[in-house]
Amino acid sequence: MRPRIPNLADYGISPKHGFLPDVLPLTRLPDPYYNKWEAIAANLQNLILSKRLRGVIDRLPVLSTVGLEHDAEWRRAYTLLTFFAHGYIWGGDTPCDRVPPSISVPLLEICKHLEVPPVSTYAASVLWNFKPLFMDEDIDDLDNLATLLTFTGSLDESWFYLVSVAIEARGGPIITLMLDAVAAARRGDSATVTRCLCTFAERLDDLGALLRRMHESCDPGYFYSRIRTFLAGSKNMAEAGLPHGVMWDDGTGRSEYVQYSGPSNAQSSLIQFFDVILGIEHRPTGEKADVSSETERGRRGSVPKHNFIRDMRRYMPGPHARFLNDVGGVANIREFVEARSATDPPLAIAYDACLSMLRAFRDVHIAIVTRYIVLPSRANRARSRSRSPETVRKSQQQQQNLATASRNADQKKVKGTGGTALIPFLKQARDETGEPAVSEWTRRFMSRQVKTSGSNDFFLGKSDDVVQEEPVVEHGLAGSWAIDDDVGGICHY
């Protein structure tokens, strides 16, 4: 018996807004019992700027979660406490590897309720952290959005989150659309599947246009030096000052260190839904496709054990992650198109158009990573080279965090190379998007390697005359980039 096509209501997913909540995020917890949390939120940027946040949180009493009733209240509490925690960890001259019980105790209970990890996630910074400026206008309009909470109070940080909010809202109707396509494929209704795929491709083009607006109000230099620090998690952060990760002190004396990645758009359930519904497979980084092998064909539809996609689902709200797993069990669009491509050209063209639009979307993302991560990282490294070793040493003794770790010239082959490993990593995910194309010409066109004059990458600049690099752990947007052959992964989108 075929599995049932998932019902969005069973997973708390909106037919109109997708993974954004149907009930708008609360701007404040209604119970006065939580006024102390809200007071910190109202002054978060000033407390971070004055380096007094830790003192305030250390004096904060442990509040109970009993007063949290509706899901919107639990989500608001999660957003508040994860922002407080990241501000506490990264908001001083040196990072702090212990979060006190005043944050840890209620946060761990909230995380259990929402099925999310105790760290700032894409859900906390994007899905549950926005409000419309005008209630009579839609939230898929980027110019009608504002954030509820930021670390810096800057327009740049708000814009960085809100671009993703608008993408989630604009892409929300695609979920219902493509589940209808799955049902149509089961009936053998090629015309409906073709129509759904055409609409999907058009909407993907809209999402790319939204992503291209990132540069309008988010400055790359400010993002790299000020915002990125607070988005770091506790995984692979030894050079930034967290060799063991972070301890969420629950007051029992038995707390242990844990490591989590920070918020990343790889945690977007919407983008992963696109891959799942189209049958796109992502391999471990550096692994080539072997389309002729039985192993490759037999693995279709499964997710490798060591896979960045699977790992990022741990950071999604539990119902959203379960939805993706269940969609993977019913996704049939790729097989349906492959079986009919020779006799139904419009169907094949529509499917390939979706792959092309999603690939173009990832191209835009690569350009953003280059501008916001790669180039500032190279500039930081160049500046550190111009300073004397003694000056660098004194500076690092005075302050240690993610930003200063990135400037460490001695560690350039471990964590300071910016996009040297990131770009091939992202390009592989981009190229994998085009591999299922049914038209040989389309597949060849999307897998083409663009040749440029000269031997160096235009964006990355001249390559260093050094030996082969070690596997890179890069902090980037997500705060955790493990680029080992046996780990694998995809780009943020």
Whole-number pLDDT of residue 356: 93
| Residue 60 counted as domain residue | yes
Copy the structure tokens of residue 5. Answer: 């096509």
For residues 401 and 90, the answer to whether their CB atoms sit within 8 Å is yes
Nearest 5°: the CA angle 193, 194, 197 is 85
Nearest 5°: the CA angle 449, 453, 458 is 80
| Residue 43 counted as domain residue | yes
**Which runs of consecutive H residues, i.e. helices, occur in 279-307?**
294-299
Mean pLDDT by groups of 10 residues along the chain of 493 residues = 94 97 97 98 98 98 97 99 98 96 98 98 98 96 98 98 98 98 98 98 97 97 94 89 95 94 91 95 71 49 58 95 97 96 94 94 91 87 69 56 52 33 69 73 64 45 42 42 35 46
| Residue 209 counted as domain residue | no
| Residue 121 counted as domain residue | yes
Q: Which amino acid, one-letter code, is at 386?
A: S
Range of the domain at 245: 8-129+146-167+222-265
Burial of 444 (0-12, 13-18, 19+ CB in 10 A): exposed
Residue 113, annotated ligand binder? no
Give the relative orientation of helices 345-369 and 419-434 as an angle to the nearest 10 degrees: 170
Whole-number pLDDT of residue 413: 34
For residues 92 and 296, the answer to whether their CB atoms sit within 8 Å is no
DSSP string, 338-385: HHHTTT-HHHHHHHHHHHHHHHHHHHHHHHHHIIIIIHHHHHHHHHHH
DSSP string, 228-281: HHHT--STTBTTTTBSS-EEE--SSS---EE------GGG-HHHHHHHHHHT--
From the list 397, 188, 191, 36, the residue with the least C-alpha distance to 44 is 36
Whole-number pLDDT of residue 392: 58
Taking CA atoms, 45 is separated from 218, 318, 478, in Å, by 18, 30, 21
| Residue 451 counted as domain residue | no
| Residue 122 counted as domain residue | yes
| Residue 89 counted as domain residue | yes
For residues 240 and 213, the answer to whether their CB atoms sit within 8 Å is no
Whole-number pLDDT of residue 444: 66
Whole-number pLDDT of residue 199: 98
* Half-sphere exposure at residue 80, Cβ-oriented, CA atoms within 13 angstroms: 27
| Residue 277 counted as domain residue | no
Copy the structure tokens of residue 467. Answer: 């030996």
Taking CA atoms, 360 is separated from 268, 270, 286, 315, 424, in Å, by 18, 16, 21, 26, 16
d(CA 285, CA 277): 22
Strands in 4-54 per DSSP E: none
Model pTM? 0.85
- The tally of domains found in the chain comes to 1
Give the relative orientation of helices 333-340 and 155-187 as an angle to the nearest 10 degrees: 50
Nearest 5°: the CA angle 465, 469, 474 is 120
